[in-house]
Amino acid sequence: MTAAGTPSPDAKPVSVRHQARRAVVQALYQWQATAQDPDDIARQFIQNNDAPRMDKKLFRELFLGTVGEVQSLDESLAPHLSRPMAQVDPVERSILRLAAFELTRRMEIPIGVVLNEAVELAKTFGAEASHKFVNGVLDQLTDQVRPEATIVKAARKPRR
């Protein structure tokens, strides 16, 4: 970004799917902070000026799916947290919930995509080291909910 807030000439274009995930994190944050009706929040984000640059269908599926499964997602994340979910920073909580939804309910999305997107979102919206926290929690969750990832990781480790 330049000082004026416009993308620098060498900046990579952001995919419409990444834009949808960015909006989901923001919508989840808003939902947590305001307890507004999720359908109203979804409508607001879809009508936003930036909406043409995001995959609206993916946004709705991920946002409403995450909100609808929030209790179950929190339960799946809890064993991997060092503190209660209510004490996790709201931005990190939003990112973890979105990624947990994708890991557990959207098996067609590759693990690497989910983890990379979550880390990038944490770097964009979170505190300085939040991406490390998010990555660590999701790495443990991945081992639990997608055992094929554990097999792949074990195969990659060098033998001594």
- Determine contact, residues 10/112, Cβ cutoff 8 Å: no
- pLDDT tens for each residue of 113-148: 999 999 999 999 999 999 999 999 999 999 999 887
| Residue percentage of the chain with pLDDT more than 70 | 82
Residue that has been written with the tokens 């979170």 in this structure: 126
CA atoms 157, 115, 95, 103: torsion sign: negative
Q: If you average pLDDT over residues 99-111, what whole number do you get?
A: 95
- pLDDT tens for each residue of 13-61: 679 999 999 999 999 999 999 999 999 999 999 998 666 789 999 999 9
Q: How far apart are CA 142 and CA 145, in angstroms?
A: 5
Q: Is the pLDDT of residue 1 over 60?
A: no
What is the pLDDT at residue 21? Answer: 96
- Determine contact, residues 115/135, Cβ cutoff 8 Å: yes
Q: How far apart are CA 87 and CA 93, in angstroms?
A: 9
Angle at 37 between CA 83 and CA 101, to 5 degrees: 45
What is the pLDDT at residue 13? Answer: 66
Q: Which two tokens stand for residue 73?
A: 């997602």
Q: Give the mean pLDDT of the chain.
A: 87
